[in-house]
Amino acid sequence: MPVEQEFIVSARKYRPLNFDTVVGQASVTNTLKNSVRSGKIAHAYLFCGPRGVGKTTCARIFARTLNCSNLSSETEACNQCESCLSFLQSRSFNIRELDAASNNSVDDIRALCDQVRVPPQIGRYSIYIIDEVHMLSPSAFNAFLKTLEEPPSHAVFILATTEKHKIIPTILSRCQIFDFKRIRVDDMVAYLSHIALQEGIQFEPEALHVIAQKADGALRDALSILDQMISFTQGNIRYQDVIDNLHVLDYDYYFRLTGLFLSRRYSEALVLFHEILSHGFDGHHFISGLASHFRDLLVCRDPVTLDLLEVGPSVREKYRQQSQQCSEAFLLQALTLCNECDVSYRSSRNPRLLVELTLMKLALYESVPGSALASLSPPAPVLSRASSNSQAGVAPAAGSPEMPVSRAQHSTPAVFPVSPKPQDSIASMPSIRQTMAKAPAVAQNKPSDIPESQKPSLSGAPVPPASEEAPQPSQEPDAVMPSKTLEEASLEQAWSKYAAKMQEKDPRLFRSLTYNKPQVSGEATVLYVVANSLQQEEVSRARASILNFLTAELRISSLELDVQVQEVATLKKYYTAQDKLTHLTETNPVAALLQQQLSLELE
């Protein structure tokens, strides 16, 4: 009966034995090799970074290289000398490992400090690798300080941790710190492909990309997932099997959803979201993946950022094709909506409705007024038919409405008139009258028959041609006619009528207007006295509205409004008894005589 070979997980079986086989940490390995080559060895090193990126592996390789008696030309350990073999066979007394997670007391550190004094038996250095050093207690850190600062010349400490911030600053200041980075997806996929070929495993490149992304930068996690997929697929790793086993949402769902958004089919998008939920996926995980999808589409639009896309070749081509169909404004708005949904998901009482609302906004994005896409394109100019005809030298029809004119109908850029200030409009009235008087006659309409839309106004609008006759003043009954005198009774009646209109619109102004009665001052001046400066400010703010109303009611032109504050005489206050007596004797001399005769004194 054949003996079955013992199974060793890939993370242990393919652990790197030299610096060149370490994945994704070239800056760290090159520095360590140069320090060994130059003989500049520090007494303490700190390797920090996320899990599964090679901290302990590099510590072991570095320790073995320091004591190797037959270094290669590339400064690599030979793995054949007695020092290398003793370490590989776990019988070395010169390289010792300590797990600080389970040996974190003061006694453990004291025992370690006692061992440091013993020189190495083989090799030049006694190397101590302390893993998870952040787990040491504060008292253990303090006990370790002196030895770490001034160890024997043969002692080298290599500390490894995933939580650098938990180590006290006095320890950090005594170490050379190496920060290990997360391993890139492409480097991880290349290493997984190498292992799969060594094991004779068939695979799809997209499947390995999913494994690498699931590992989140930790190569050890990727190797563990690879072993799991090998067992699940029986040596044939396919993309569909990986996403089914790892419960990963397929890229195809996001591509289909984006196509539905671009074609504004929100109902089908909601049905597809229901299908995703029926497969057991969480809505929060879905909206996060959708945001990542839009981010990847935005990255694909520029060749400079194309390297930021960490997917397989076939999926990369899908991203490139769909990114050409999406505008940058749509992708930016989609990222904003997905981010808002992601932030509000956990606090929402109806998370599914929140996600569905986001999907509908994405599908109806370009049709929603005020969207980002609409704001990016300038609005089409709206010109009146009268102004367009006047530019062409054609008189407009009476009462013609304003019509929107598209940009394609005008080869010259549209010029939008700026509304002049009131004083500028009034100053320009003589020129308008002259223009109307000199304009050629187009119609035989009388001035009274001209529609209101064609009469000259103070807003600076274009003036249509008029008849040769000078415009006569209107004889309508509502016209304002000057009167000889301003009667106080009619003024009070009109004032009260205006104040009643302001009772609901502006209560503060209403109270100021009803504080006093207006008075007639001069022939056409209204005098109104208020109690304080606040009331004066309120009435002055509405001066124009008040004068227009009074002019229309009283039929008097050129009215003026004078708002004054009533002067209140201040009374002198008497505080002391002597002040009161002095005031009493000034007003009544008999009180002074009474005080002298009775010899009265102040209390």
Band of pLDDT at residue 274, cut at 50, 70 and 90: very high
Tokens of 20: 């060149």
Residue 352 has pLDDT above 90, yes or no: yes
Lowest mean pLDDT among 132-146, 190-204, 257-271, 379-393: 379-393
Is-contact 138 104, C-beta < 8 A?
Answer: no
Q: What is the pLDDT of residues 121-166, one digit of tens each?
A: 787 888 999 999 999 988 889 888 888 888 888 899 999 999 999 9
The whole-number pLDDT of residue 254 equals 92
Query: Regarding the domain delimited by 251-370, which CATH topology (the fold level of the hierarchy) does it fall under?
Result: Zinc Finger, Delta Prime; domain 3 (1.20.272)
% residues pLDDT > 70 (the chain) = 78
Among 267, 250, 273, smallest CA distance to 341 is for: 273
Residues 257-270: what's their mean pLDDT?
91
CA nearest 184: which of 9, 11, 26, 20? 26
| Residues 436-452: tens digit of each pLDDT | 444 444 344 444 444 54
- Whether the pLDDT of residue 402 is over 60: the answer is no
DSSP 194-223: HHHHHHT-EE-HHHHHHHHHHHTT-HHHHH
Q: What percent of the chain has pLDDT over 90?
A: 19
- DSSP, collapsed to helix, strand or coil, labels residue 323 as helix
Given pLDDT bands bounded at 50, 70 and 90, which one contains residue 47? very high
Query: Which CATH code fits 488-565?
Result: 3.30.300
Mean pLDDT confidence for 337-365: 91
pLDDT of the residue at 386: 40
Residue 389 reports pLDDT greater than 70:
no
The CATH number of the structural domain formed by 10-179 is 3.40.50.300
The rounded distance, in Å, linking the Cα atoms of 374 and 555 is: 50
User: At 575, is the pLDDT very low, low, confident or very high (cuts 50, 70, 90)?
Assistant: low
* Among 258-262, 473-477, 545-549, the range of highest mean pLDDT: 258-262
pLDDT at 204 over 90: no
Q: What's the mean per-residue pLDDT of the chain?
A: 78
How far apart are alpha carbons 226 and 213 in whole angstroms? 12
Name the pLDDT band for 460 (thresholds 50, 70, 90).
Answer: very low
For domain 185-246, the question of CATH label 1.10.3860.10 is answered with no
Q: CA dihedral defined by 384, 390, 394, 400, rounded to 10 degrees?
A: 30
Q: Which residue has the tokens 């409705």?
A: 353
Q: Is the pLDDT of residue 39 over 90?
A: no
Which one has a higher pLDDT value, 349 or 487? 349
**Residue 343 per-residue DSSP state:** H
Instruction: Categorize the per-residue pLDDT at 603 as very low, low, confident or very high, splitting at 50, 70 and 90.
Output: low
Assess whether the region 10-179 and the region 251-370 belong to the same CATH fold: no
Amino acid 300: pLDDT:
87
Give residue 338's identity as a one-letter amino acid code. C
- Phi and psi, residue 38, nearest 5°: -85, -10
The pLDDT of residue 178 is 93
Which token pair is 7? 């199974």
Q: Where are the domains of the chain?
A: 10-179, 185-246, 251-370, 488-565, 571-603
95's tokens: 């390289």
Question: 48 φ, ψ to 5°?
Answer: -130, 150
Q: What's the pLDDT score for residue 567?
A: 64
Residue 320: band (very low, low, confident or very high) from pLDDT cuts 50, 70, 90: confident
pLDDT band at 5 (very low <50, low <70, confident <90, very high): low
DSSP letter, residue 567: P
Residue 600 confidence (pLDDT) above 90: no
Q: What is the mean pLDDT of residues 66-73?
A: 86
